[in-house]
Amino acid sequence: MANTQIQTALIGEILIRKKFVSATEVEYALTEQSKSRRKLGEILVERSLISQANLNQVLEEQHVLLGQLLIQSKVISQTQLASTLIWQRCRNQKLGELLVEKGLISQEQLEKLLEKQYWQKNGFWLIS
């Protein structure tokens, strides 16, 4: 349950940071959420405080995968990602570790992309 509250608060912070809602609106929705046990985004959309499209955008940005970042950054190809993901299932290793091991990316590239992924998941998508 505590993890859900952390996620909810984070989503609220991201929505505020993107100026989709105000802090007061998030506080209002969090108060209602504590009584109803519904999702924060659901409450904000239902009360017309945010559009469903904006909520979906934030949720999508929050779940960016390392493979997506690698392809978007043109570090590896879709084919290289697909073959490494197959290899990953057999070896039970982290994707980044396998890519470095295969020589497809450097350790420095991996660290930069993991940092970018971290910041993007936390709503700071302007960091390159």
Mean pLDDT of 48-68: 87
Position 20 confidence tier, pLDDT thresholds 50, 70, 90? very high
User: Quick one: pLDDT at residue 18?
Assistant: 85
How much is the pTM? 0.60
Mean pLDDT of 74-94: 93
pLDDT tens across 101-119, in order? 999 999 999 999 998 888 8
Q: What is the mean pLDDT of the chain?
A: 85
User: Quick one: pLDDT at residue 9?
Assistant: 41
Neighbours of 44 (CB within 10 A): 27
